[in-house]
Amino acid sequence: MTALKEVSSNRSFGGYQKVFSHDSKELGCQMNFAIYLPPQAEDGEVPVIYWLSGLTCTEQNFTTKSGVQRYASEHGIIIVVPDTSPRGCKIPGDDDSSDFGIGAGFYVDATQEPWNKNYRMFSYVTKELPEIINSNFAALEECQSIMGHSMGGHGALICALKNPGKYRSVSAFSAICNPIISKWGQKAFSGYLGSAESANWADWDATELVKGYSGPPLEILLDQGKADHNLTTELFPDNFISACKESQVPVILHMRDGYDHSYYYIASFIEEHIKHHATYLKA
C-alpha cells in the first residue's frame, strides 16, 4: 500500500477537504492530490469523481475556487483532484513556459526523452491514483466518473475514451477537444510524443478517438462559454460534436452566453455537472 502523508484537512459541508502527498512510482517524484470526503463516506463506500485541471494549475485551483464541496456533500460523492504534472524532476526546460512542462502534463504518457521517464500523467490518473484512492478511502471502485477543464477537459475525454467501461460518465468545461489542430496541443504533443509523422497523435485526441469508440455506452457532457477567447483557436468543440454524431456517441453540449474560460464560469455550473454524474454513478 502506498504511504500517504496528510498535508492539510479542513471541515467542509459536513465532510473533509484534505490534501495528501505520496511518492509516485509512475511519475518518479512526490505528488499531491486533493480529496473531498463527504459525510456519507463515514458510513460506507461512495462513488468517486476525478477532476483534471488545466494549464498552470495544481490540485488547489479547483479545490478552492469551484465550490464543489457543497454539491459533493449533497450527493455523497468523493472528489479527487490530482496535480497537473510531475514536479521537482529538474528536467532542463520544464519551467520555460506555461504551456509545456511543469503544470502542463497534458495527461499523456510521454514517449520522447527526457520526458518519458516522468511525464506519464495518463497512467498516473487512470491506474496509480485510482489504486491509491480505492485502497485508502471509502471509494466504490466500480462507480467512478471523470471531468475536467481546458487541458483537463482534454484529459478527461481521452481517459474515458481510451478506457471503455472504466467511467460511468465524463464531462468537461472548455475542453481542448481537438488538440492535433490546436497550438497548445501541437506544442505538447511534439515535445512529449514526437513529430506528427513519427507518432500517432490521433491516439491522444478526443475528436479522433471518438470516431472509433465502440465500448459500453458513455454519457458525455460538454460545457463551453461563448465568450471564451480560446473557443475558435484552441478548443474546437464543434469538431468533437460532429465526430460524436457521426459515430452515434451520445453527447450534450451547453453553450453559455457571456461566460469565459475562468473559474467564475466553472463555479456557475459545477452543480449541474455533479448532478449529471450522480445520475449515472447511482444508477
**Each residue's pLDDT tens digit, 238-278:** 999 999 999 999 999 999 999 999 999 999 999 999 999 99
Average pLDDT, the chain: 97
| Overall domain count for the chain | 1
pLDDT band of 223, cuts 50, 70, 90 = very high
**For the chain, what percent of residues have pLDDT higher than 70?**
100
- C-alpha count within 13 angstroms, C-beta hemisphere, residue 163: 19
Measured CA to CA, the distance from residue 184 to residue 177 in angstroms comes to 11
CATH of the domain at 66: 3.40.50.1820
Residue of 154, 261, 273, 277 with catalytic role: 261
Residue 126, helix vs strand vs coil: helix
At what angle are helices 68-75 and 263-281 packed, to 10 degrees?
10
Measured CA to CA, the distance from residue 44 to residue 32 in angstroms comes to 25
Is residue 228 annotated as a catalytic residue, yes or no?
yes
Kind and range of the H or E run holding 256: strand 251-256
Q: Are 188 and 179 in contact (CB under 8 A)?
A: yes
Measured CA to CA, the distance from residue 143 to residue 66 in angstroms comes to 23
pLDDT band of 283, cuts 50, 70, 90 = confident
Residue of 85, 205, 228, 273 with catalytic role: 228
Residue of 150, 169, 171, 182 with catalytic role: 150
Measured CA to CA, the distance from residue 91 to residue 63 in angstroms comes to 28
List the domain range (segments joined by +) for residue 177.
Answer: 4-281
Query: In this structure, which amino acid lies at residue 137?
Result: F
Beta bridge partners of 221: 171, 252
Measured CA to CA, the distance from residue 229 to residue 172 in angstroms comes to 17
Question: And the C-alpha cell for 146?
Answer: 471523470
Residues 164-198 have pLDDT tens digits of 999 999 999 999 999 999 999 999 999 999 999 88
Is residue 214 annotated as a catalytic residue, yes or no?
no
Measured CA to CA, the distance from residue 198 to residue 262 in angstroms comes to 35
